[in-house]
Amino acid sequence: MTYADIIVDISHEKVDRSFQYKVPEELQHKLQVGMVVTIPFGNGNHERKGYVIGLSDTPAFDTSRMKELTGICSSEETTEERLIALAAWMKNQYGSTMVQALKTVLPVREKVKAKEKRYIILNVSEEEAEKIAGKLESGRCKARARLVRALLEEKKLDYTKASKEFGMTASVLRPLADEGIVQVVQDEVYRMTVDGANIPHEELSILTEPQQEAFDQIQEEWKADPPRPVLIHGVTGSGKTQVYMKLIRQVIDEGKQVIVLVPEIALTYQTVRRFYGWFGEKVSVLNSRLSAGERYDQFKRAKRGEIQIMVGPRSALFTPFSNLGLIIIDEEHEQSYKSENSPRYHARETALYRAQMENARLVLGSATPSLEAYTKAKDGEFRLVKLDARFEDRPLPKVSVVDLREELREGNRSVLSRSLRKAIENRLKCGEQAILFLNRRGYAGFVSCRSCGEVLKCPHCDVALTEHNNGRLVCHYCGYEQPRVEKCPVCGSPYIGGFKAGTQQIEQVLHKNFPKARILRMDYDTTRAKGSYEKILSSFAAHEADILVGTQMIVKGHDFPDVTLVGALAADLSLNVADYRCAERTFQLLTQAVGRSGRGTKPGEAIIQSYHPDHYSIQTAAAQDYEAFYQEEMAYRMLMDYPPAAHMLSVLVSGENEELLEQGMDYLAKFVERIASRYRIPVIGPAYAAVGKVNDIYRKVLYLKHRDERILQDIKDKTEKYIELNSGFRRLYIQFDYT
Ligand SMILES: Nc1ncnc2c1ncn2[C@@H]1O[C@H](COP(=O)(O)OP(=O)(O)OP(=O)(O)O)[C@@H](O)[C@H]1O
Ligand SMILES: [Zn+2]
Ligand SMILES: [Zn+2]
């Protein structure tokens, strides 16, 4: 016997309310997840339509009281059915509940529109916040200190989550808010409203010869049956955007619809404007700051056929177009395409599945492709299309690498190396612009030597150890721990500790060195107010400043023709993150940063300051040689069985009660080990997770790596079932991550 879980109204807030029905004998072979069926509903047994969200062989309750569904509704698939099937795939692939998957995929109407999300943010600089947290701790204001610490970690805390997860109360928040240390905001920091009607129409540019060639190759691929996904590997400034636009035009002329995914940070006014300029009212733009209600409205417009192009981050992938022709993923290597919430889906993989299901085409583009995509391109699973030169054959910037250890030996303690200082001076003289980029990704926690650059690493895993509040150094991959060190194990220097220099400090140094220079700073602190992000970018574009200093947010996709110098300060900080992808991230960040230089008619230069000038990610980024980087990095992944050489499954368990968590994790680890041992796969951990040093929420994690995807999927499925059937896990939060 088969039983079907059915929801009656998918546009309702409460999609989690499902009802189980018996499936009549004659429908058992036809019925699939996603299908619309007719059911008798309620006391009057009125016939209603419902969506099948799950099928099983075991009844959830007494079958004598269970009704039977009456029929399958449509023979023709609807958009909803396909999206529900997509949700089912995501649930299986990534491990989550069906409700979580459905809520990710479907535009669920919010009941009360005013129920906007509230967030808590810091209102003081990080340096100050550090001091305040210290003071609060010594003054025994533990709860307040905890909140400040959490903000230092997360930047932006969901109000409800903060109350729920670590018991933040109004009496903890209020004094901090009154003193101006924190601030409560409605989430609309980046929200932009573009009135499409006021933007003048623009013609698409004529493609250059290499761009046309790339376009033709894609056309050729699209004639194949079925066409493979296309990866455009085009160097920075080669004009990938122009190629996308021509493809979009072609597909909408065929009467089909297009989804364009871009990283959130690239959704600037300029990008949005260009899309409206080219395609006018056919476009709608989503961003993650829209309320659920606003997103719902945009999806409704798409469903009604009022728009043909949806531009947006990750979630735009679920736009309910009825005749989807093309999905484009720009900057496909970006981390933001991976969801942090269950189901922890990757937009690239999910787009691939949706495209296959709906006979749509998929185009990925990047100057620094992800190892995943490039490997598929090499294997012939994707079609590789190259753009090897910049627009009009403009040269790529000339790059030099400065050894920071050498600078220190020569007595230069400044954050600016001598050659970078000279280069800035030159630019100021010529009236050209410079970008200084502080690579701070993941700087928190790891421990490095100021004299020689040595970073303390796990002896077993080749990832940096992270300093915990209790002073112990911990490996997040295997659980290895050791006490803090007083001296550098390599050079004996006592100057060993966490890295502190921030963008603000760099701005001050610049003011001191170049009193006449006009400087803009773009980082978390200066972009908090609504519209400030745009203001800084447009001011710099209008050449109202000479130097732009900032964090990663300044290196993504921007096109400033007058910039002829890019300086990467402390280029290798991201090499020390406790993550096997840190070399890839470093290479990508640096190559993208370097790529902002010399995009106009004047040739550009870039200077990379590093403690590891010989590291392959620095060397290959300096040479802007993707292929060389790929070879080195892939060899490492093969050696260590990291993705994409193998697949990786992690199980993250978190909870407020450490004892309970440890207990639960013990049971879980034993179970997973038992299953995994059948396949002779070792289980790594349990170890403390890299994320979440929020004091009262403990998080532990288990890892498994294997080359056969089916085996990991089997372990995941069995573990999910085990968790579901054991009520002991109900007080813990369990999340799967599959790569
Ligand atoms: N065919 C063209 N006609 C006119 N201008 C072009 C053409 N192709 C590229 N350009 C100009 O060259 C610059 C770089 O192009 P674009 O921003 O599309 O490059 P990209 O490949 O997306 O670069 P990145 O990966 O660095 O973001 C832009 O200023 C763009 O306007
Ligand atoms: Zn040292
Ligand atoms: Zn380790």
Mean pLDDT by 10 residues, the chain (739 residues): 84 72 91 87 84 85 89 77 90 88 80 58 82 85 85 79 76 83 61 58 92 98 95 95 96 96 81 86 82 80 91 94 96 92 94 95 97 97 96 93 89 89 96 89 64 80 68 75 87 75 80 95 78 87 94 82 93 74 93 94 95 93 96 95 94 86 91 94 83 60 92 92 86 90
| Minimum CA distance residue for ligand 1 atom 5 | 205
Closest CA to 357 of 105, 109, 108, 107: 105
Three-point CA angle 425, 553, 386, nearest 5°: 95
Are the beta carbons of 501 and 484 closer than 8 angstroms? Answer: no
**Candidate of 208, 241, 599 to mutate for ligand 1, largest count of ligand atoms within 8 Å of Cβ:** 241
- Phi and psi dihedrals of 372, rounded to 5? -60, -50
Closest CA to 146 of 176, 123, 118: 176
Six-digit token pair at 299? 């999806």
Compute, in angstroms, the gap from residue 241 CA to the centroid of ligand 1.
6
Span 394-443+499-638 CATH architecture: 3-Layer(aba) Sandwich (3.40)
Residue 393 DSSP one-character state:
G
Cα distance between residue 463 and residue 581, in whole Å: 10
Compute, in angstroms, the gap from residue 700 CA to the centroid of ligand 3.
14
Contacts of 207 (CB under 8 A, 6+ apart): 215, 239, 242, 243, 246
How many residues are recorded in the chain? Answer: 739
Compute, in angstroms, the gap from residue 621 CA to the centroid of ligand 2.
25
Q: Verify whether ligand 1 is closer than 6 Å to residue 598 (CB atom).
A: no
Q: Verify whether ligand 1 is closer than 6 Å to residue 595 (CB atom).
A: yes
Which ligand sits closest to the CA of 492?
2
Q: Verify whether ligand 1 is closer than 6 Å to residue 325 (CB atom).
A: no
Are the beta carbons of 594 and 568 closer than 8 angstroms? Answer: yes
Which ligand sits closest to the CA of 494?
2
Compute, in angstroms, the gap from residue 494 CA to the centroid of ligand 2.
8
Are the beta carbons of 396 and 390 closer than 8 angstroms? Answer: yes
Which ligand sits closest to the CA of 474?
3
Cα distance between residue 297 and residue 464, in whole Å: 45
**CA dihedral for 11, 12, 16, 19, sign (positive or negative):** negative
- Annotation-wise, does 458 bind a ligand? yes
Quote the pLDDT of residue 316: 94
The domains of the chain are located at 3-105, 118-186, 196-391, 394-443+499-638, 647-738
In CATH, 647-738 is 3.30.1330.10: no
Compute, in angstroms, the gap from residue 571 CA to the centroid of ligand 1.
26
Cα distance between residue 335 and residue 574, in whole Å: 14
- Annotation-wise, does 73 bind a ligand? no
**Beta strands at 118-122 and 156-158: parallel, antiparallel or unpaired:** antiparallel
List the beta bridge partners of residue 673. none
**Beta strands at 466-467 and 473-474: parallel, antiparallel or unpaired:** antiparallel
List the beta bridge partners of residue 400. 607
Cα distance between residue 455 and residue 445, in whole Å: 11
Closest CA to 320 of 312, 310, 311: 310
Which ligand sits closest to the CA of 333?
1
Q: Verify whether ligand 1 is closer than 6 Å to residue 205 (CB atom).
A: yes
Cα distance between residue 360 and residue 327, in whole Å: 7
Closest CA to 197 of 273, 264, 303: 273
Residue 478 CB neighbours (<10 A): 17
Quote the pLDDT of residue 498: 63
Compute, in angstroms, the gap from residue 691 CA to the centroid of ligand 3.
16
Compute, in angstroms, the gap from residue 590 CA to the centroid of ligand 1.
19
Six-digit token pair at 61? 């309750």
Closest CA to 361 of 240, 231, 228: 228
Taking CA atoms, 699 is separated from 461, 559, 654, 662, 719, in Å, by: 20, 41, 4, 10, 18
Q: Verify whether ligand 1 is closer than 6 Å to residue 559 (CB atom).
A: yes
Amino acid, res. 567: G
Strand arrangement, sheet containing 473-474: 466-467, 473-474, 481-482
| Minimum CA distance residue for ligand 1 atom 9 | 239
Cα distance between residue 724 and residue 728, in whole Å: 10
DSSP for 195-212, written as a single string: -GGGSPP-PPPPPPHHHH
Residue 207 CB neighbours (<10 A): 17
Q: Verify whether ligand 1 is closer than 6 Å to residue 238 (CB atom).
A: yes
Q: Verify whether ligand 1 is closer than 6 Å to residue 367 (CB atom).
A: yes
Residue 176 CB neighbours (<10 A): 21
**Candidate of 206, 391, 396 to mutate for ligand 1, largest count of ligand atoms within 8 Å of Cβ:** 391
Which ligand sits closest to the CA of 688?
3
- Annotation-wise, does 430 bind a ligand? no
What is the distance in angstroms between the CA of the first residue and the CA of the last residue of the chain?
Answer: 35
Span 3-105 CATH architecture: 3-Layer(aba) Sandwich (3.40)
List the beta bridge partners of residue 329. 261, 364
Compute, in angstroms, the gap from residue 652 CA to the centroid of ligand 2.
35
Quote the pLDDT of residue 112: 41
Compute, in angstroms, the gap from residue 611 CA to the centroid of ligand 2.
11
Which ligand sits closest to the CA of 687?
3
Q: Has this prediction a pTM greater than 0.90?
A: no
Answer whether 196-391 and 394-443+499-638 agree in fold: yes
CATH topology classification for 196-391: Rossmann fold (3.40.50)
Cα distance between residue 484 and residue 493, in whole Å: 14
**Candidate of 211, 213, 232, 238 to mutate for ligand 1, largest count of ligand atoms within 8 Å of Cβ:** 238
Compute, in angstroms, the gap from residue 448 CA to the centroid of ligand 2.
8
Compute, in angstroms, the gap from residue 631 CA to the centroid of ligand 1.
28
Six-digit token pair at 617? 């990610």
Compute, in angstroms, the gap from residue 489 CA to the centroid of ligand 2.
7
Atom number, ligand 1, closest to the C-alpha of residue 558? 27
Are the beta carbons of 503 and 438 closer than 8 angstroms? Answer: yes
| Minimum CA distance residue for ligand 1 atom 27 | 557
- Annotation-wise, does 141 bind a ligand? no
Burial of 45 (C-beta count, 10 Å sphere; 0-12/13-18/19+): exposed
Are the beta carbons of 501 and 439 closer than 8 angstroms? Answer: no
**Candidate of 244, 364, 559, 566 to mutate for ligand 1, largest count of ligand atoms within 8 Å of Cβ:** 559
Q: Verify whether ligand 1 is closer than 6 Å to residue 211 (CB atom).
A: yes
Are the beta carbons of 7 and 53 closer than 8 angstroms? Answer: yes
Closest CA to 318 of 508, 63, 107: 107
Neighbours of ion ligand 2 (CB under 5 A): 449, 451-452, 454, 488, 490-491, 493
- Phi and psi dihedrals of 118, rounded to 5? -110, 145
Six-digit token pair at 293? 């209600």
**Phi/psi zone of residue 167: left (φ > 0), alpha (ψ -120 to 50 degrees), beta?**
left
Cα distance between residue 521 and residue 539, in whole Å: 11
List the beta bridge partners of residue 186. 118
Which ligand sits closest to the CA of 405?
2
| Minimum CA distance residue for ligand 1 atom 31 | 239
Contacts of 257 (CB under 8 A, 6+ apart): 251, 302, 308, 309, 310, 319, 321, 322, 323, 324, 325
Contacts of 270 (CB under 8 A, 6+ apart): 537, 538, 541
Atom number, ligand 1, closest to the C-alpha of residue 600? 29
Cα distance between residue 500 and residue 492, in whole Å: 21
Atom number, ligand 1, closest to the C-alpha of residue 241? 18
Which ligand sits closest to the CA of 640?
3
Q: Verify whether ligand 1 is closer than 6 Å to residue 308 (CB atom).
A: no
* b/e map 569-595, b = 16+ CB within 10 Å: bbbbbbbbbbbbbbbbbbbbbbbbbbb
| Minimum CA distance residue for ligand 1 atom 18 | 239
Are the beta carbons of 668 and 454 closer than 8 angstroms? Answer: no
Quote the pLDDT of residue 117: 64
| Minimum CA distance residue for ligand 1 atom 1 | 207
Are the beta carbons of 119 and 159 closer than 8 angstroms? Answer: yes
Atom number, ligand 1, closest to the C-alpha of residue 211? 1
- Annotation-wise, does 491 bind a ligand? yes
| Minimum CA distance residue for ligand 1 atom 7 | 239
Amino acid, res. 495: Y
3-state helix, strand, coil in the chain (%, to 5): 40, 20, 40
Are the beta carbons of 572 and 615 closer than 8 angstroms? Answer: yes
Three-point CA angle 169, 170, 175, nearest 5°: 115
